[in-house]
Amino acid sequence: MGRWEPNAEGRLAQAAMELFSEHGYEQTTVAEIAERAGLTERTFFRHYTDKREVLFAGSVHFRENFVVGVEQAPESSTALQAVTAAAKRAATALDERRGREFARARRAIIVANAELRERELIKLADVSVAMAQALRARGVDEPDASMTAELGMAAFRVAFDRWLAAGERRTLPELIDEALASVAPVVA
């Protein structure tokens, strides 16, 4: 079938996760990742634009879940209901795809490094921008669209952090509800 060993991208991503977990992000060199994957440094940069990106391979899929979630919300839904449904859709997909333990391992790598935290923030900001656009397509005006999207992403961030905390048993959608529920009395 394959000409060379198949799934070069996946091998690189797995090698990176392993090495980052073992020795930390900064202590791991791109050449080492490529070597473990049986490839060269140059080939790494053909699959990932930079060293950080190897940890964010699923971000496009992640964002699309939010966008589709907003788009597919019933016509009668309010903006916040649509964003909430979108966040839960993405949350469920995240859990089903790799699970809580994988998310925890990946999270440990990211929070330990400022560059990676920056990359994660811009990915989430991209999601917010995309959701705001989807809301405007539903007829929501600015600044409501942006504020609602930001509110949804904030809830997702807060819920996600709690979801990965030690001993937390609740599901991610439940925690999203909790985060959003705490906003109503605050604003009132």
Partner DNA sequence: CTCGTTATGACAGCAACTGACATCACCGTA
Partner DNA sequence: TACGGTGATGTCAGTTGCTGTCATAACGAG
Residues that bind its own copies (CB under 8 A): 78-80, 114, 117-119, 121-122, 125, 143-144, 146-148, 150-151, 154-155, 157-159, 162, 178-179, 182-184, 186-188
Closer to DNA at the Cβ: 29 or 78?
29
Q: Cα–Cα distance between 9 and 44 in angstroms, integer?
A: 8
Closer to DNA at the Cβ: 8 or 70?
8
**Residue 27: DSSP 8-state:** T
Applying CB under 7 A, among 14, 18, 21, 45 the residue interacting with DNA is: 45
**113: its two tokens:** 């490094």
Which of its own copies, DNA, none has residue 183 at its interface (CB below 5 to 8 Å by kind)?
Answer: its own copies
Which of DNA, its own copies, none has residue 46 at its interface (CB below 5 to 8 Å by kind)?
Answer: DNA
Using CB under 7 A as the binding rule, whether residue 46 contacts DNA is answered as yes
* The residue count for the chain: 188
CB contact set of 6 (below 8 Å; sequence gap of 6+): none
Q: Work out whether the CA dihedral 173, 174, 177, 182 comes out positive or negative.
A: negative
